[in-house]
Amino acid sequence: MRLYHGSKRQYTILKPNQATAPADSEQAKLIPEKELMNAVYLTLDFQFALAMAARPPGLTKIDNDNGKKSITFENPKLFNPDQPMYIHEVDAAAILKEFWKKEKYVAIHAQSVKFRIIKYSILIPLFICSYYWKGTRFTGILLLTLTVVAVTMHFILRWKTKAWSQNWGTI
């Protein structure tokens, strides 16, 4: 799946940028707060990305009425068809593949061999004992609960370390 980003600038790497509008402008009143994110804005629609790259300064309104698309600029006199525009194409599947590759690496290599041996020497007997003590249903609930706790802890640590890119204090 291809995603597109339209810009007046050419980038070798797309990095998040804080969307802004001048505080005293009419634009600031019209833009919902949730849209002013520090993000890379991507779209499935190539024409929309082209419109974003071509737009002049000011508010841009795009309508899609019954399949007919129209674009309106707040400052149409500032529109310059001769200015350079760049459409950056992003392969969403490659991004997802890279994300899973990094997560898998962290999951496999984050814990030392000694820690994993100790962890499994505790967990396996725990599950065996719970199965003989309370049966399949209890053991399944225990496994599901511990999995949810582990995944939650994983994502908390991922969040606090900014996707494994920095230390989270002294441990």
**pLDDT tens-place string over residues 93-135:** 888 888 888 888 877 887 888 988 998 999 999 999 999 999 9
Residue among 58, 82, 83, 84 at smallest CA distance from 71: 58
Q: Where are the domains of the chain?
A: 2-92, 111-171
pLDDT in tens, 3-26: 898 888 888 887 777 666 666 666
Q: Residue 9: how many CB atoms within 10 A of its CB?
A: 9
What is d(CA 141, CA 137) in angstroms, rounded to the nearest whole number? 6
77 DSSP 8-state letter: G
Q: Is the pTM of this model over 0.85?
A: no
